[in-house]
Amino acid sequence: MDHSIFETIDTLYDKMVETRRYLHQYPELSFHETETAKYIADTYSDLGIPYEANVGGNGVIATIEGGRPGKTVALRADFDALPIQEQNDHLSFCSKNEGVMHACGHDGHTAELLGLAEAVWQHKQDLPGTLVLVHQHAEEFTPGGAKPIIESGALDHVDAVFGTHLWVNTDYGTIDVSKGAFMAGADGFKIKIQGKGGHGAQPHQTKDAIVIASDLVSSLQQIVARRIDPLKTAVVTTGTIEGGTAFNVIADTATLTGTVRTFETEVQDTIIEEMERIIKGVCTAAGADYEFSYQKGYPPVVNHEKEASLILEEASHADASLKTREVEPSMAGEDFAYYLQEKPGAFYFTGAKLPNHYYPHHHPKFDFDERAMLHGAKTLMQAYLSYQNHS
């Protein structure tokens, strides 16, 4: 296939922008993306592309069979939003759904995959193999949408899977990938402390839950600092502390929540064991009771070396202006990990940093360079073609 398909993708840029901005105005939370899923399905209906809806929940999967023999390759985009009140009042397409926002670029992922589908449909007779376009719900909230889509059997026939994430930490025009571990496993925890409340002027008659919680926040940091091999990677973050009712009342209860990020099961197991030991020790010393719950989330995203090498070596074939980099892993998490446990493939970042407007993913002022959607669509197409040529 010549570069005509990439030229067709270029002609669809304005349509991608229109799609992205529409979806940005009507974001939906994980597992509640019914209207978004309907929009995706309606788009495929209008194009005449066969699809299946309600896959594993709200997932939508379209299939395009090429005119030449080849492998079956899946390309994935997610489409859920976050419980964030948007603060981009300067945008004409700011979210119209109170307290919900596309603050991670999933609207862009959906737009670029729909644009890619339309381009491929126009060139399908020249296409080798079969393209499976996976629109996945519920990436942001465990247990996520990837696992039920896999469990549905909808991808059993697929030979490989690729995906990309528009990434504002990376400069526009740059593709970042690794040949192994790429994103961390992401777990969550909750600790509820039951002390004994009382008057702020009589602390000796209480078991101050907030003081105990403060001790735990500091003590939990010792796990990575003193219990994990310095050559290993791990993060233990306490994200919230809730407790107390008034400035002069000593709290009887306090609740901590947080996240743990690891790449290896052995390190994950050590952290869980050490957390149990520290929580029990601190609470016992203070005479308080506790409840500790630990939720194992998405596993690490581990790219397959061969498929990641195709991204690294051939992504620029889709657009000569692109540069690729092999990078160190990110501690962010992604349920794309489940696809890579089942099938060969790779996940990579498409640089989307906006000039003079940098706010990180999950920030209420998050936005990305829309031109990066072209890079995302083109490199996914190139990954598909490269796999056909090298498998």
106 labelled as ligand-binding?
A: yes
33 labelled as ligand-binding?
A: no
Q: For residue 389, how many other CB atoms are within 10 A of its CB?
A: 13
Q: What are phi and psi of 192, to 5 degrees?
A: -110, 125
Tens of pLDDT, residues 220-258: 999 999 999 999 999 999 999 999 999 999 999 999 999
Q: Which residues contact 10 (CB under 8 A, 6 or more apart)?
A: 374
Report the first-to-last Cα separation within the chain, whole angstroms. 16
CA atoms within 13 A on the CB side of 48: 5
CATH 3.30.70.360 range(s) for the chain read 185-298
Predicted confidence pLDDT, tens digits, the chain (391 residues): 457 999 999 999 999 999 999 999 999 999 999 999 999 999 999 999 999 999 999 999 999 999 999 999 999 999 999 999 999 999 999 999 999 999 999 999 999 999 999 999 999 999 999 999 999 999 999 999 999 999 999 999 999 999 999 999 999 999 999 999 999 999 999 999 999 999 999 999 999 999 999 999 999 999 999 999 999 999 999 999 999 999 999 999 999 999 999 999 999 999 999 999 999 999 999 999 999 999 999 999 999 999 999 999 999 999 999 999 999 999 999 999 999 999 999 999 999 999 999 999 999 999 999 999 999 999 999 999 999 999 7
Q: Is 60 helix (H, G, I), strand (E, B) or coil?
A: strand
CATH tag, 4-181+300-390: 3.40.630.10
Instruction: Give the active site residue among 80, 159, 274, 334.
Output: 80
Active site residue 151: no
Which DSSP string corresponds to 236-252?
EEEEEEEE-SSTTEE-S
The answer to whether 340 touches 279, Cβ cutoff 8 Å, is no
Q: For residue 9, how many other CB atoms are within 10 A of its CB?
A: 24
CATH 3.40.630.10 range(s) for the chain read 4-181+300-390
52 labelled as ligand-binding?
A: no
Instruction: Give the active site residue among 139, 252, 334, 335.
Output: 139
Domain 185-298 has CATH 3.40.50.300: no
283 labelled as ligand-binding?
A: no
Active site residue 107: no
Does residue 143 have a cis peptide bond before it, meaning omega lies within 30 degrees of 0? yes
